[in-house]
Each structure stands twice: as structure tokens, then as C-alpha cells.
Amino acid sequence: MWKDFKEFAFKGNVLDLAVAVVIGAAFGKIVSSLVENIITPLIGILVGGVNFKGLSVMVGDAEVTYGVFLQNVFDFLIIAFSIFMILRGLMKLKRQKEEEVVEETEEELTVQEELLREIRDLLKEQKN
């Protein structure tokens, strides 16, 4: 059983996943800080200092703080948009690299392919 567990735990996929979770958590903290400390105050200035966290309703003796919920939804939307923009940028870079690789492979011709192209071009010239 221990051997099976070691094989499972030390496979590349499991380790990659663990690293991704740790990096994702750290990135989440960065984005949350960006939202809380920079974006939300700037938006608050633009809309006249509105703070969602102070919104609440009293229902009997219970206080329903729906403003905190609205703030968390707002934070989620900004975080999701930030991650989308970063992934979009990374995908563009990946596509550019793939296009460069495709262009490089097209230029590399064997001697036989070069001779065949020359023959093809000569035959086209003869037909015209």
C-alpha cells in the first residue's frame, strides 16, 4: 500500500497540481489585494465614495448585511476579469510562438524537396 501511495504522490501530475495550487493561492492574494486596496477605492472615488460593505437591513433582531455580499460579488467579478485578461495575454503569446515555429519548419527543406520545387517551377514556365 505504501508503494502505491508513493507512486501516486510523486507522479508528475500530482506534483504539478500541488505547485499550481500554491501558486494559484499566492496569485489570488495578489489579485485580492489589488481589488481591495487599489481598484475598489478608485471606483469608490468615481461614484462618490459608495461603500457596499455598510449596506444592511434589520429583520427583527437580525442584521442582514447584504452589502458584504455585494462587495464579494464585485470582488469576484474583478478577479475573474483580471485572470481572464492575463490568460488572454498568455494565449496570444503562445499563438505567436506557435506561428514562429510553423514558419521555421516551412523554411527547412531537404535537397530532394528543393529539386522537386525547381522541377515544378520549370514545368510551369514551359507550359506558359
**pLDDT tens string 28-76:** 888 778 877 887 778 778 877 666 777 888 888 998 888 888 888 887 8
Q: What is the pLDDT of residue 106?
A: 59
Q: Residues 75, 33: contact at Cβ < 8 Å?
A: no
φ, ψ of residue 56 to 5 degrees: the values are: -160, 165
Q: Is 51 left (phi over 0), alpha (psi -120 to 50) or beta?
A: beta
Where is mean pLDDT largest: 5-14, 37-46, 50-59, 113-122? 113-122
Q: What is the pLDDT of residue 51?
A: 67
Looking at the whole model, is its pTM more than 0.85? no
* Rounded Cα gap, residues 69 and 52, in angstroms: 8
Q: What is the pLDDT of residue 17?
A: 81
